[in-house]
Structure 1
C-alpha cells in the first residue's frame, strides 16, 4: 500500500491507521500546498487533495473513508455488526461536520494565514461554537472508555485525529474531563505516538 500526503495534513490520520494495522506501507509525503495538484496527483485524486491511498491499484481518497476501508479490509479496529458499523460512520462524519470546521477556522487564523489576514473575532466565534459538539462528546463518554464501549476502534481514531487540532491550538479541554481523558487514552497508543513523531518531523521540514 502507498499513502500520499504529508503527515501534518489530514493524511496524518491515515498514517496513524496504517501504523495501527502494522502492515508494510510506503508513505509519500506529498504536501497539500501545491504538490497535491500536479498532473500525476490529479490522476489519483481529481479534487487535488491529499491523502490518497493506492492499495495495489485500488485508489481511494478522503481520509476518514480511507481509514474505514483499511479497518474493514484488515479487521483491525473494525467492530462487529452492522449497527457498530453505522456508529463508526456516524461518529466519523460527526467529527467532520460538527467539529473540524471550527478547528480549521482557528488554525488558519492563529497559525497559517498571513498576520494581516487573520481575524481574531473569527477565532473566538469558532472557539465558542466548538463548545457545543465538545459537550455532546463529553456527555457520550461519561460512562464508557471509548466511543462504542470498552474497546478502541477506528471511530475513536477518526474522531481523535480531528480533535487533535485542539491540542495544537491549546484549546482548553478542562471543562470536558471525559473528552480529555479519552484523548489521553487514544494518543498514548504506540501507533499514535509513531504518527505524532512523523507529523512533527514533517512540520519541522516545512519551509
Structure 2
C-alpha cells in the first residue's frame, strides 16, 4: 500500500516539511488533498484519524501519524538508506544534527511566529497590529539571526557541514513571511544568506512551489 499524505495541494508550514522529506528520500506516495476552505479537516471522518483536525498527516499502510516534525523523523529513519540521508548515523554528527533541530524549534521558530502574528496572521483576521509586540519580536528575531550568522561562519548547515532534516525544519515558518513580502532571512548577513539560498535552491523545494503531486514511483 502506497503511503498517503494528507496535505494542501500547494503546501505551507508543516505540510511542506513532510513533502520535502518525501521528495528528498524519493518515497512513493499518494496525495490526499485537504481543502481548509471547505472544512475538510474538521469532518467526523478526518477527526477520527487526527483529533486536532490539522494537516499534515500520513497513513503508512494503516499506521496513522500526525505532527510534521514527528512524521519527518519517522520517514527519515524508515528510509534511512534511500535518497538523501537526513539524519546522520555517526554519534557526534547525530548530536550536532539534534542540536541544530533544537535550535530551530527553541530559538528561531518562536521569534518568527511572533513577527508573523503581527505582520501576516493578524491582518488575515482583521486584527490591528500591536506595534510594541512587533518591535519586540523583530528585535528578538534580529538577535537570533545574528547568532545564526556566527554559526554559519563556522559550518555550512545548521546541523554541521551536511544538509540534514534540521535544515528542512527551517522551511516551516520563514517562507510564509517571505511570501507575504517580509524578507526575514536573506538581508541578515552573508552567511545566513548563503545558507538560505542553498536551501531554497534544492530541486525538492523548487518542485514544491508548483504544488504537491502524487508520486507512484521514481
Shared fold (TM-score, shorter chain, > 0.5): yes
Q: Which residue of 1 aligns with 2:215?
A: none
1:69 Cα deviation from its structure 2 partner: 1.3
**4+ long deviations beyond 6 Å:** none
Change (3 A) 1:82 1:164: farther
**Structure 2: distance between partners of 1:9 and 1:15:** 10
Aligned pair partner of 1:151 in 154, 162, 179: 162
Segments of structure 1 that go 5 or more residues without pairing to the other structure are 200-207
Alignment of 1:18-29 (within 5 A): 18-29=22-33
Partner of residue 67, structure 2: 62
1:78 to 2:82 alignment: no
SS in 1 for 2:59: strand
Kindly tell me: are residues 148 and 107 of structure 1, through their superposed partners in 2, closer, same or farther at Cα, counting changes over 3 Å? closer
Question: Paired residue for 1:197?
Answer: 210
Q: Secondary structure at the match of 1:46?
A: coil
Q: How does 1:120-199 map to 2 (within 5 A)?
A: 120-168=131-179, 169-171=182-184, 173-198=186-211
Return 107-116 or 51-60, whichever deviates more: 107-116
Q: Which SS does the other structure have where 2:170 is aligned? A: helix
Aligned to 1:96: 105
Deviates more, 1:97-106 or 1:68-77: 97-106
8 Å contact from structure 1 (residues 4, 53) kept in 2: yes
Q: What is the distance in 2 between the residues matched to 1:150 and 1:137?
A: 14
Question: Aligned-pair distance for 1:185?
Answer: 0.7
Partner of 1:3: 5
Equivalent residue, structure 2, for 1:44:
49
Higher helix share: 1
**Residues 55 and 66, structure 2, Cα contact 8 Å, conserved in 1:** yes
Higher relative contact order by CA 8 Å / sep ≥ 6: 1 or 2?
A: 2
Matched residue, 1:14: 18
Q: Specify whether residues 32 and 121 from structure 1 end up closer, same or farther in structure 2 by C-alpha distance, changes over 3 A only.
A: farther
If the length of structure 1 is used for normalisation, what is the TM-score? Answer: 0.83
CA contact (8 A) 1:20 1:191 kept: yes
Comparing 97-106 with 180-189, greater Cα deviation is found at 97-106
- Residue 44 of structure 1 aligns to a residue whose secondary structure is coil
RMSD of equivalent CA atoms: 2.3
Greater Rg over alpha carbons, structure: 2
